[in-house]
Amino acid sequence: MELVIRLATIDDVPSLLNIYAQALDNHKVLSVEAAKEIFIKQSQYPDYHVFIAENNGTAIGTFALLVMENMAHMGSPSAVIEDVGVLPEAQGQGIGKKMMAFALQYAKEKGCYKMSLSSNLRREQAHRFYESLGFNKHGFSFLINLP
């Protein structure tokens, strides 16, 4: 396996949508045009990046990483990882582990004092995966759905 993790480009949007559809969103995703508009907006956020994992040029995984500046914690930034997904047929091959190691290294290089993520309560397999990587359940996550 020739795994490459790189910054996604606007040309990767169809591949990203395919991964989201199969790994995250129960086959319900935006149109390519709508997703490209959002990708352009996201690219304007400082230190927000979407990464794509490819095996021999085929997109098989993705994650987004936001590094946030912080006035607390002596100015040390923190990182939030979102939208972690690996195609079902590529799961169990260490792709997710390599993506998370990449994200952790990126956050360390940016001087982050922590990296956090949230996961739906029902995603117990994902919880075990994150715990196997050293993530700890910490506090509570609160959510309010907005109309």
The reported pLDDT for the residue numbered 1 is 73
Instruction: Compute the chain's Rg from CA coordinates.
Output: 15
The reported pLDDT for the residue numbered 107 is 96
For tokens 């952790």, name the residue: 104
Report if residue 144 sits inside a domain.
no
Report if residue 143 sits inside a domain.
no
Note down the domain range covering 7. 3-132
Q: What is the pLDDT of residues 74-103, one digit of tens each?
A: 989 999 999 999 999 999 999 999 999 999
Report if residue 92 sits inside a domain.
yes
Find the largest Cα–Cα distance for the chain. 44
Q: What is the pLDDT of residues 6-63, one digit of tens each?
A: 999 999 999 999 999 998 877 889 999 999 999 999 999 999 999 999 999 999 999 9
Handedness of CA 132, 20, 99, 36 (dihedral sign): negative
Domain total for the chain?
1
The enclosing domain of 115 has a CATH number of 3.40.630.30
Task: Determine how β-strand 115-116 pairs with β-strand 48-55.
Answer: unpaired
Report if residue 39 sits inside a domain.
yes
The reported pLDDT for the residue numbered 37 is 98
Report if residue 146 sits inside a domain.
no
Report if residue 25 sits inside a domain.
yes
Report if residue 145 sits inside a domain.
no
Report if residue 147 sits inside a domain.
no
Q: Look up the pTM and report it.
A: 0.90
Task: Determine how β-strand 58-68 pairs with β-strand 3-7.
Answer: unpaired
